[in-house]
Amino acid sequence: VEVPRSVTAVLGQDVVLPCRYRAQEQEQVVQVTWLKRGPGAAVAEVAVLNPQHGEHVQEPFVGRVLRHGHGDLEDGAILLRN
């Protein structure tokens, strides 16, 4: 999985959180799950991207999180809307 070490966001603007997987031959990405790490060890599911079952965004992220990647799920980037 390739992700940048950090992403800079500007207050009041949208930001893309990139995530790319370089699949080997005979591999296929079937699902991408985005999680948010909270205080302590708390983890909350943000979004699930699945070509068969569609995209599912959890409350309270509905309307603020969109898939940004195009094509197959090797590009699992999401857009956070301000």
Q: What is the pLDDT of residue 70?
A: 82
How far from chain centre, in Å, is Cα 82?
Answer: 16
Per-residue model confidence as pLDDT tens digits over 9-52 = 999 999 999 999 999 999 999 999 999 999 998 999 999 999 99
For the segment 64-70, the average pLDDT, to the nearest whole number, is 93
Delimit the domains of the chain by residue range: 15-80
pTM (2 d.p.) = 0.89
Pick the CATH number of 15-80 from 2.40.30.170, 2.60.40.10, 1.10.3470.10, 3.30.530.20: 2.60.40.10
Over 90: is that where the pLDDT of 62 sits? Answer: yes
The chain-wide mean pLDDT, for the chain, equals 95
